[in-house]
Amino acid sequence: MTKTRKSLRVIGVPSDLGQGRRGVDMGPSAIRYAGLSEKLEALGYEIKDLGNLSVAQPESRVQGDVKLKYLTQVRAVCDELRSMVAQVMAENAFPIVLGGDHSLAIGSVAGAAEALKGEMGCIWFDAHGDMNTDETTPSGNIHGMPLAASLGYGHDDLTRIGSLFPKLKPERVALVGARSIDPLERELIARSGINVFTMADVDEQGISSIMRRAIEIATNGTSGVHLSVDLDALDPMYAPGVGTPVHGGFTYREGHLAMELLASAGCVTSVDVVEVNPILDSENRTGKMAVELLSSLLGLTVI
């Protein structure tokens, strides 16, 4: 199993093209402002910030298909991100992608999968399924489609980014924290064969048991694991600054324990942290939460 690398590379993706509410384009700045580099350097990492990808603003672009809003622009962003993530991992460094809306994960997953030659598991930490396609979406927002696209479901412009198709195998994917699933999305989740752990499962079995199972799934026969963290996985009490908050999420300690167990397993080889919206936040609490979770993922412990 590949251990967490000591060399970190930060990539900002200030995109809200895939989201229905404005503001997540400022997420990378909010996370940086919360002290990301300083906290990770204190853990002994060498960290280099590669800056932000250039992302068009929605006001300057035509929305296009109402079922795939800003498809051309989202695809361009994801393809550039794919290339950067793959290059970072080829240089034996660990990419930390800061969002931005969750559509960017199409690119981060694609790049990580290329670097690991398709032998990659994935843990998707999210209140939502992100398993819509243009045929099932109630909103047309692509941030509800990245997991489906990574599994090969949906429009070719999203599923065919890069050299691999699909990027993920369903038996190696664990969706953790789900509590808000669209009706047609539920059908695709059932057909796909991915492993889903809802908040009801967490309530019944405990976060420790769920995460150990998720790690087992994502590491079975793989060379590394991509972790995708949507801050709305946490309860809005702890992460209020997200575009699509859903009550009943992870507590502060459950979130940290999940990251601590991943750190202990040493299996995560890339990560994206998304949907931080400073406009909806209070005193940058959600940006700070993102930094704290990344710190736990990368080895911060109480003792």
Instruction: Indicate if 130 belongs to the active site.
Output: yes
Tens digits of residue pLDDT in 245-283: 999 999 999 999 999 999 999 999 999 999 999 999 999
Indicate left, alpha or beta for 152 from its phi (over 0: left) and psi (-120 to 50: alpha): left
> What contacts 175, CB < 8 A, 6 or more positions away?
124, 126, 129, 147, 189, 194, 195, 196, 197
Instruction: Indicate if 126 belongs to the active site.
Output: yes
* The pLDDT of residue 57 is above 70: yes
* The pLDDT of residue 4 is above 80: no
Question: What's the whole-number mean pLDDT along residues 42-52?
Answer: 97
Q: Which of 157, 230, 272, 292 is catalytic?
A: 230
Percent of the chain with pLDDT over 90: 91
pLDDT, the chain, mean: 95
Per-residue model confidence (pLDDT) at position 59 = 61
* The pLDDT of residue 17 is above 60: yes
The topology (CATH level 3) of 7-297 is Arginase; Chain A (3.40.800)
Question: What's the whole-number mean pLDDT along residues 107-114?
Answer: 98
Per-residue model confidence (pLDDT) at position 2 = 43
Tens digits of residue pLDDT in 65-104: 889 999 999 999 999 999 999 999 999 999 999 999 999 9
Q: At what angle do helices 105-115 and 71-90 cross, to 10 degrees?
A: 30
Tens digits of residue pLDDT in 215-228: 999 999 999 999 99
Question: What's the whole-number mean pLDDT along residues 56-66?
Answer: 73
Q: Which of 101, 232, 254, 292 is catalytic?
A: 232
298 CB-contact burial (10 Å; exposed 0-12 / middle 13-18 / buried 19+) = buried
Structural domain spans, the chain: 7-297
User: Token pair of 144, please?
Assistant: 């509800």
Q: Which of 16, 25, 101, 130 is catalytic?
A: 130
> What contacts 6, CB < 8 A, 6 or more positions away?
44, 45, 46
Per-residue model confidence (pLDDT) at position 265 = 98
Instruction: Indicate if 275 belongs to the active site.
Output: yes
> What contacts 170, CB < 8 A, 6 or more positions away?
151, 192, 193, 194, 195
Tens digits of residue pLDDT in 165-215: 999 999 999 999 999 999 999 999 999 999 999 999 999 999 999 999 999
CA-CA distance, 173 to 181, in Å (whole number)? 17
Instruction: Indicate if 25 belongs to the active site.
Output: no
Instruction: Indicate if 247 belongs to the active site.
Output: no
Picking from 20, 84, 74, the residue whose alpha carbon sits closest to that of residue 52 is: 84
Cβ atoms of 92 and 101 closer than 8 Å: no
Q: Which of 16, 25, 114, 128 is catalytic?
A: 128
* The pLDDT of residue 1 is above 50: no
Instruction: Indicate if 143 belongs to the active site.
Output: yes
Q: Output 280 or 5, whichever has higher pLDDT.
A: 280
